[in-house]
Amino acid sequence: MISIGCVKGTKVENTELFQGKPGSGEPLASRMRPETLDDFMGQGHIVGQGKLLRIAIESDKLSSLIFFGPPGCGKTALANVIAKKTGSNFISINAVTSGVAEIRDAIKQAKHEKSLGRRTILFIDEIHRFNKSQQDALLADVEKGTVILIGTTIENPYFAVNQALISRSQVFEFKALSFDEVKNIILRALADKEKGLGNANVKITEDAINYLIKASDGDARQALNFLEMAIVTFGQGADKKNLELEEIKNLIHKKVSYDKKGSVHFDTISAFIKSMRGSDPDAALYWLAKMLYGGEDPRFIARRIVICSSEDVGNADPQALVVSSAAFQAVSSVGMPEARIILAQAVVYVATAPKSNASYVAISKALEDVEKEQTMEVPEYLKVASYKGAEKLGRGGYEYPFDADVQAKIKEGKFKQDYISENRKYYIPSENGFESEIKKRLEKK
């Protein structure tokens, strides 16, 4: 049992920027943002001792930066630390509520500060929300050094941010926080009597805290929001209240960070396809479950299974395309939640099927030849010859393989008819599954 207010060893200092007081209406997650790098939790790969970004922050010699990563992993919190550490003028705007006018005001202020010999750091939260023209409005002044840009985004900046801005910035990827990192943040909040919940008259069990951490999915902001909601909901009585696991379960339901149009969507479907291609049904089922839990369209998933069954399984098991196509039709007819069963069946079949990309490679090579080489003419004997005047154009001479005389030539191994004017080899069957049988058939020709 952990008593709120009884956890020791947490240093607490006064703060103003990005911060508030209990009872001020500001959320706990905002009040508990760190003020120094020593208080900052997580992201040791970029702000650990001796890391480039930490050295730049501590020496106050920052260049333009872009932070990207999942929600609640510390992007804005690190901007808060930089705001307190830097001797530069610090301007903060949010791309959701700001536009070109706010950018121009910030640039105007930055130019004034520059004339006085002072640098300006322009912090833009959720920079991916700016459209191209809004991002372009920043470009010249970032280039000239009028402002040092710090932008945060949950989207992969290489897709969501102007490439010219990226080329003038250092990009740092933030990772979701670990279980222990989120737990440390929660314990700080429970211990902090000035900004946190240290004065609350509540106890919370270890099991309840652990469940809360897992439900937050590496998102510190969500974990603190859950904690504050639990305290407000159950801890208002005069007597000290014990928060148990079941109470937390009834209050909190896990939310998966999943945007059906964002980078998480693309990364997850990529992992899903590569797991099927790599013949790992368990991994494929996990990514399937994540997509379904996140609200992904099951028809989109089914289409990807159909593509994988042809691209990666191919003729090593032709039945895979039949199964996946049937699954697509069934999912379109049945819908969720039962569609999850159909998808799982198709995923397991495709993941465990023998693999061959020979057909995929073959059509890719053929398309490359069509695109880059001189286009081959259809041989005269293969052209349509069923119309009047075809003979005058030199059409005809095609030997029908089912004619008796042609069948006799085939049996004697004397039949030879080319179906392309130049010898090309595109399809090279593998030894996997049914394709080994196809290979034997071709070798007999």
* pLDDT at residue number 240: 53
For residue 235, the model assigns a pLDDT of: 61
What distance in Å separates the CA atoms of residue 305 and residue 273, rounded to the nearest whole number? 8
Cα-based angle 74, 77, 79 (whole degrees, multiple of 5): 115
Check whether 224 has a pLDDT greater than 60: yes
Is pLDDT of 3 > 80? no
Tokens of 3: 């008593």
pLDDT at 387 over 50: yes
CA distance 325 to 308: 11
Is-contact 252 217, C-beta < 8 A? no
pLDDT given for residue 9 in this prediction: 32
Tokens of 203: 């106890």
Please report, for residues 32, 36, 166, 185, 192, the alpha-carbon distance to residue 13 in angstroms, rounded to integers and kept in the order given: 11, 10, 35, 15, 10
Every domain of the chain and the residues it spans: 42-173, 263-352, 377-444
User: pLDDT tens digits, residue range 336-372?
Assistant: 999 999 999 999 999 999 999 999 999 999 999 998 8
- Two tokens, residue 385: 């010859």
> Which of the four pLDDT bands, split at 50, 70 and 90, describes residue 98?
confident
* 3 state DSSP class of 172: strand
Q: What is the pTM of this model?
A: 0.73
What fold characterizes domain 42-173?
Answer: Rossmann fold (3.40.50)
Specify the CATH class of 263-352 in words. mainly alpha
Query: 97 versus 152: which is more confidently predicted?
Result: 152
pLDDT at 24 (0 to 100): 57
* Residues 113-141 as b or e (16 or more Cβ within 10 Å = b): bbeeeebbbbbbbbbbbbeeebbebbeeb
Mean pLDDT of 113-127: 91
Question: Residue 362 in contact with residue 321, Cβ under 8 Å?
Answer: no
Mean pLDDT of the chain: 86
Minimum mean pLDDT range among 84-98, 246-260, 351-365? 246-260
Q: What is the pLDDT of residue 237?
A: 53
Strand spans (E) along 190-326: 202-204, 241-243
* Confidence band for 275, pLDDT divided at 50, 70 and 90: very high
Judged against a pLDDT cut of 80, whether residue 57 lies above it is answered with yes
pLDDT at res. 241: 66
The least confident of 67-71, 217-221, 242-246, 298-302 is: 242-246
Model confidence at 36: pLDDT above 80: yes
Above 70 in pLDDT, residue 65? yes
Q: Which two tokens stand for residue 202?
A: 């509540």
Q: Is the pLDDT of residue 264 over 90?
A: no
Strands 170-173 and 241-243: unpaired
pLDDT at 433 over 50: yes
Residue type, 107: I
CA dist 229 to 124, 182, 196, Å? 29, 17, 13
Task: Answer with the residue of higher pLDDT: 228 or 14.
Answer: 228
Q: Spell out the residues 6+ positions from residue 290 whose beta carbon is closer than 8 angstroms to its own.
A: 256, 258, 268
Report the C-alpha gap between 182 and 190 in whole angstroms: 12
Structure tokens at 158: 């290489």
- Higher per-residue pLDDT: 86 or 283: 283
Instruction: Report the alpha-carbon distance of residue 77 to residue 188 in Å, rounded.
Output: 15
> What does the pLDDT look like over 140-184, one tens digit per residue?
889 888 999 999 999 899 988 988 899 999 999 999 999 999 999
DSSP category for residue 316:
G
> For residues 275 and 356, what is the distance between their CA atoms, to the nearest angstrom?
15
| CA 306/CA 288 separation, integer angstroms | 14
pLDDT(311) > 50? yes
Q: Please measure the distance between the N-terminal and C-terminal CA atoms of the chain and give it in whole angstroms.
A: 78
